[in-house]
């Protein structure tokens, strides 16, 4: 049995600017993994399966301050990319090493947090950072043998990207045609995120709701306000701004999501199954990201895997009020002459437990403490 190829899939790394809205701190762990993979004797396809960069919550640097733009031109995207590159340089250096081996391939699939990757200028800049290799690809999805990989935002209508119309024209500029929710996050949620930088790292959200009423109320009020204004007011107020349109199913969805405290990400598997029912054949491996929960189902020979996210995330225990740092995971598929074999591999991190009540009293302190435990220095905090 000879090993022909190894396919590695990681998703939702969400590298940001190293400021308070950046939730990725596992640079060391990730860089070590990439270097290890680069030394494999056989070819490796390394897939960063969407939301690898958190352009969505990344500010850009304009005249000495950080701002969150609603209208994302290529220039704005490049400005953000520059901040991300400096904040997470260790990861870029590891990727550069990986790409030096020509038989390996590095593939970025596009997610709702890194739609900016559709700009050719952004792709070229990333290649430039990686030493201008020829084995880097940017794709909507990845297919190889019986392996199918995509980020998954397409199965959630509020975050889906319109790949037929990637750009809008606004005041003579070309800007990204982002999803309704993305525009909402940029316009309404970033200030909240800066004030509560730890909250979005805690799961499950329903438990969080019970314990952190004041902040949740603020978010809910803003979300309802934004949804309502999006339907009744913005279309008139910003008549000439194409970024203020909304999907028609919005009303029903507003109700459902508020009930379940899902502001940005919803389950994607049921929709995925409905849309893909014809190709859900035996022996296929589907790997998705987007939702940050680990999920493995192996039913009648059809495999669907979510490896989970690489952000700094925690599980909250309601009884002990303890926050346990989540493991990082990736999917490994070994391709031999006889077929493919998959495995979900855990990457443990040595972290201490945090107490929820202490964390909500001083969220910034614990954001910094978490970074310190992973020996990461946030560039902009």
**Interacting residue ranges for Mn ion, rule: CB under 5 A:** 51, 111-112, 153, 290
Q: Compute the least distance from the CB of residue 154 to Mn ion, in Å.
A: 10
**C-beta closer to Mn ion: residue 53 or 148:** 53
**C-beta closer to Mn ion: residue 135 or 153:** 153
CA 13 to centroid of chain Cα atoms: 6
**C-beta closer to Mn ion: residue 110 or 359:** 110
Q: Across 233-288, where does the E strand assignment appear?
A: 285-288
Q: Compute the least distance from the CB of residue 113 to Mn ion, in Å.
A: 6
Sorted by sequence, the CB contacts under 8 Å of residue 275 that are 6+ apart come out as: 155
Cα gap 356→62, rounded to integer Å:
36
Cα gap 34→91, rounded to integer Å:
8
**C-beta closer to Mn ion: residue 51 or 200:** 51
Render 306-339 in DSSP notation, one character per residue: E----S--EEEETTTTEEEEPPEEEEEEEEETTE
Q: Compute the least distance from the CB of residue 161 to Mn ion, in Å.
A: 10
- Residue number of the CB closest to Mn ion reads 290
Cα gap 323→195, rounded to integer Å:
20
- Residue 282, class by beta-carbon neighbours within 10 Å (0-12 exposed, 13-18 middle, 19+ buried)? exposed
DSSP letter for 24, please. Answer: -
Q: Compute the least distance from the CB of residue 21 to Mn ion, in Å.
A: 15
**C-beta closer to Mn ion: residue 212 or 328:** 328
**C-beta closer to Mn ion: residue 48 or 354:** 48
| 217 close to 224: Cβ distance less than 8 angstroms | no
Q: Compute the least distance from the CB of residue 227 to Mn ion, in Å.
A: 20
Sorted by sequence, the CB contacts under 8 Å of residue 162 that are 6+ apart come out as: 177
**C-beta closer to Mn ion: residue 99 or 184:** 184
**C-beta closer to Mn ion: residue 131 or 247:** 247
Cα gap 130→124, rounded to integer Å:
10
Cα gap 341→223, rounded to integer Å:
43
Residue 229, phi-psi category: left (phi > 0), alpha (psi -120 to 50), beta (remainder): alpha
**C-beta closer to Mn ion: residue 291 or 316:** 291
Q: Compute the least distance from the CB of residue 14 to Mn ion, in Å.
A: 9
What Cα–Cα distance (Å) separates residue 375 from each residue in 24, 30, 206, 306, 313?
A: 12, 13, 31, 27, 16
């Amino acid at each position: 049995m000879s090993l022909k190829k190894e396919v590695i899939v990681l998703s939702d790394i969400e590298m940001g600017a190293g400021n308070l809205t950046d939730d990725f701190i596992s640079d060391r762990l990730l860089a070590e993994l990439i270097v290890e993979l680069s030394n494999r004797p056989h070819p490796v396809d390394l897939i960063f399966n969407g939301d690898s960069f958190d352009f969505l919550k990344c500010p850009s640097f304009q005249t000495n301050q950080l701002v969150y733009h609603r209208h994302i031109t290529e220039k704005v995207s490049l400005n953000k990319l520059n901040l991300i590159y400096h904040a997470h340089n260790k990861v870029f250096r590891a990727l550069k090493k990986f790409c030096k081996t020509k038989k390996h391939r590095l593939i970025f699939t596009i997610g709702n947090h890194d739609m900016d990757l559709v700009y050719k200028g952004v792709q070229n800049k990333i290649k430039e950072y990686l030493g201008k290799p020829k084995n880097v690809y940017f794709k909507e999805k990845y297919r190889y043998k019986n392996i199918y990989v995509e980020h998954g935002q397409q199965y959630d209508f509020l975050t889906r990207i319109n790949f037929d119309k990637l750009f809008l024209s606004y005041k003579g500029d070309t800007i990204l045609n982002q999803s309704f929710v993305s525009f909402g996050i940029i316009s309404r949620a970033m200030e909240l995120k800066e004030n509560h930088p730890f909250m979005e790292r805690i799961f499950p959200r329903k438990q969080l709701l019970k314990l952190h009423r004041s902040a949740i109320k603020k978010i809910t009020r803003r979300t309802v306000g934004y949804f309502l204004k999006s339907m009744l007011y913005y279309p008139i107020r910003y008549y000439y701004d194409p970024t203020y349109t909304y999907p028609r199913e919005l009303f029903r969805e507003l109700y459902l999501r508020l009930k379940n405290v899902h502001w940005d990400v919803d389950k994607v598997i049921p929709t995925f199954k409905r849309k893909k029912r014809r190709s859900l054949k035996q022996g296929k491996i589907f790997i998705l990201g987007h939702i940050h929960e680990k999920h493995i189902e192996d039913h009648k020979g059809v495999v669907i895997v979510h490896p989970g996210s690489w952000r700094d995330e925690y599980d909250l225990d309601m009884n002990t009020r303890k926050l346990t740092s989540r493991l990082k995971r990736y999917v490994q598929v070994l391709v031999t002459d006889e077929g493919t074999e998959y495995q979900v591999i855990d990457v443990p991190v040595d972290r201490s437990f945090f107490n929820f009540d202490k964390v909500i009293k001083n969220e910034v302190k614990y954001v910094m403490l978490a970074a310190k435990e992973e020996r990461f220095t946030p560039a902009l905090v």
